[in-house]
């Protein structure tokens, strides 16, 4: 059982690192499942949190450094099209104004993790500001996502699949509500940026 648990922590770590490079990877699901398994005693909660936060930090730093060294050609390969070009410009302006807050909060927005990592690297956002913000964001996101799985595990005791399903559902609901609220606020305050907010 301990050997299987070790592989579970490694899987969470690898999927979360890859998630920044390949956003389609089901990393969030693995973290929620890890929280559910921790609630049932199959995994250690502290280790699930550590694997999640560390992987988020490492993945973001890797993407940031690749974009920083790869320059415009690399960024444009990931973010093609007019909508994405506007999104990059928008995130770059936000980094100038709000810096660390955008870096820390980017992972809570759909596709925000990859976009912020790419743009911060391309814009050569200072590492002395980047790294602490990434650490804070990775820790908060891990507490949130693992917490959803842990909550589900306590609701559905003895049924990890149902627990993970509840955590995933709650994650989608929270993400959907916050995204809709953000877009509505942007349309209300700055109608000209409605297209950017959808990127």
pLDDT given for residue 13 in this prediction: 94
Tell me the whole-structure pTM to 2 decimals.
0.74
pLDDT given for residue 195 in this prediction: 37
Pull the structure tokens for residue 120: 């911060």
Please tell me whether residue 147 adopts helix, strand or coil conformation: helix
Cα separation, 78 vs 60, in Å, equals: 15
pLDDT given for residue 199 in this prediction: 36
Cα separation, 59 vs 113, in Å, equals: 10
Q: What is the pLDDT along the chain (199 residues), one digit of tens a residue?
A: 455 667 889 999 999 999 888 876 678 888 888 888 888 888 899 999 999 999 999 999 998 998 888 766 666 666 666 666 666 677 777 777 777 888 888 888 777 788 888 888 887 888 888 999 999 999 999 998 898 888 887 776 666 666 556 656 665 565 555 555 555 554 665 544 443 443 3
């Amino acid at each position: 059982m301990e050997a299987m648990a070790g592989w579970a922590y490694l899987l969470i770590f690898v999927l979360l690192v890859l998630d920044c490079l390949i956003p389609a990877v089901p990393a969030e699901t693995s973290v929620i499942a890890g929280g559910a398994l921790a609630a049932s005693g199959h995994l250690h909660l502290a280790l699930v949190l550590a694997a999640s936060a560390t992987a988020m930090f490492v993945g973001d730093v890797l993407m940031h450094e690749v974009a920083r060294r790869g320059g415009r050609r690399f960024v444009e390969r990931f973010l093609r099209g007019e909508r994405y070009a506007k999104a990059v410009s928008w995130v770059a302006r936000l980094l100038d104004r709000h810096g660390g807050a955008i870096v820390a909060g980017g992972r809570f927005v759909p596709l925000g993790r990859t976009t912020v990592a790419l743009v911060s690297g391309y814009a050569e956002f200072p590492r002395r500001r980047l790294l602490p913000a990434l650490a804070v964001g990775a820790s908060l996101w891990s507490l949130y996502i693992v917490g959803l799985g842990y909550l589900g595990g306590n609701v559905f005791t003895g049924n990890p699949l149902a627990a993970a399903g509840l955590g995933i559902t709650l994650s989608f609901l929270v993400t959907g509500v916050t995204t809709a609220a953000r877009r509505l606020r942007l349309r209300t305050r700055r109608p000209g940026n409605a297209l950017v907010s959808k990127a």
